[in-house]
Structure 1
């Protein structure tokens, strides 16, 4: 799988509201013991990742994640930038993710917020 396809599936995962479909996307694209960590959340494993995404969608109803710009890639690492926004609106949050691959699956994602709403 190439980096662009993996990134597309990553953002589709974060925007997918059906938990069963998210499970399929996670199983296809994440290792069983994958970790996700950003300034707000830290989870390990596919089930907890699915729960995290569902919770994030409840926190930000009507908003979707969009990749911004190109994907940087070297060795087993990817980096991309994203915005969280409603269609036709300015983004409410944005960040950069560093992805560690194990084969063609994500084994670790480390996220940084470039800007985010105050909680």
Structure 2
């Protein structure tokens, strides 16, 4: 496994979600994730409760491969960042154990920096240092 600088990795990861240029997003996705990587999102509690009300006992959202990852990142950018309401930032707490990297992130209001949401990211790195599994927990 390459000696990946986890702070560089997590900084680039978080910066991607704020990136306005579609081509740069596409390029960064290919640099960060392997071709068949998976991004798995555990939705926020209110969405889980709504799903339970519809009879679902488990709800996990998954995007696999560069095309699906690009769609996922672009939608998050368009919904949260492009209107000028929010920005994402790392919590600066990245840690690594073998091929697993974990770190926290925040979504903050642009006008006051107040935290609107926080999440925990668990990344599984492949032999080339790119992400093969990305597990996201939105904590609030």
TM-score (norm 2): 0.77
Counterpart selection for 2:42 from 15, 39, 55 = 39
Counterpart Cα distance in 2 of 1:37 and 1:90: 26
Find 1:80's aligned residue among 81, 89, 103: 103
The TM-score normalised by the length of structure 1 is 0.90
Greater share of strand residues, 1 or 2? 1
Match of 2:12 among 9, 13, 18: 9
**Residues 89 and 107 of structure 2 are in contact (CA less than 8 Å); yes or no, is this contact kept in structure 1?**
yes
Structure 1, gaps ≥5 residues long: none
Gaps of at least 5 residues in structure 2 are 44-60
Number of aligned residues: 115
Whole-angstrom CA distance in 2 between matches of 1:89 and 1:4: 22
Q: Which residue of 2 aligns with 1:97?
A: 121
Aligned to 1:111: 136
In the TM superposition, structure 1's runs of 4+ consecutive aligned residues that sit over 4 Å from their partners are none
RMSD: 1.2
Bigger CA radius of gyration: 2
Larger RCO of the pair (alpha carbons < 8 Å, separation 6+): 2
